[in-house]
Amino acid sequence: MLEVSVLGRVAYLPTYEAMQAFTATRAGTTADELWLCEHPPVFTQGLAGRAHHVLDAGSIPVVATNRGGQVTYHGPGQVVAYPLLDLRRAGYFVKEYVYRLEEAVIRTLAHYGVTGHRVAGAPGIYVRLDDPASHAALTGPASRDYPFQGLGKIAALGIKVSRHCSYHGVALNVAMDLEPFTRINPCGYPGLQTVDLSTIGVSTTWDEAGRVLGQKLGALLAP
């Protein structure tokens, strides 16, 4: 059972530090938690992040983190979910954990009539730009080097596991100013288009999207 906390809009760095502190001090009996929040504008770099993927940060701060992956953007109108789990107690490994995080996003999108897609080797969830509801398998001119032809990224994923315990998590774009994504190579891919629910015709609130995502995560992350 996840203890869910809706934090609202909170600064990124103190939240990151709080996740680290929670994970470092938790015991074997510490309850798992799920933090739902949004952040003021910030670019975050993962451990694999390269400076040249930040094209023009402007006045938006860039924060180096210890999560996996490359650079991404957080901002108002995005639901950020941080599951703080003891994976050993839950009974599954990191690969399964990532699958469950992505599946929660896919089921959240399905709630809104949108089909989410996985792309091999590129964590996160993507939607078809021409037909967001399409269930058809991904085919077409996408190449091995650039598998995103016709797709837009709607959710980013980056995690850290320390002593079998997870932090960081997944971010779902709901109704954002997407312009800052053009200032980076999202997740290290030049030209990768980023979308949100609003862009693809879904009208919902941050509170509602957060509630749905929280429910899906709670169901899928249970031991």
Asked if residues 61 and 16 have their Cβ atoms less than 8 Å apart, the reply is no
Which is catalytic among the residues 85, 87, 187, 195? 187
In the residue annotation, 187 being an active-site residue is answered as: yes
DSSP, res 53 = G
Taking the C-alpha atoms of residue 177 and residue 131, their distance in angstroms, rounded to an integer, is 22
Q: What is the largest CA-CA distance in the chain?
A: 50
94-111 and 206-220 helices, crossing angle to 10°:
140
Enumerate the active-site residues: 187
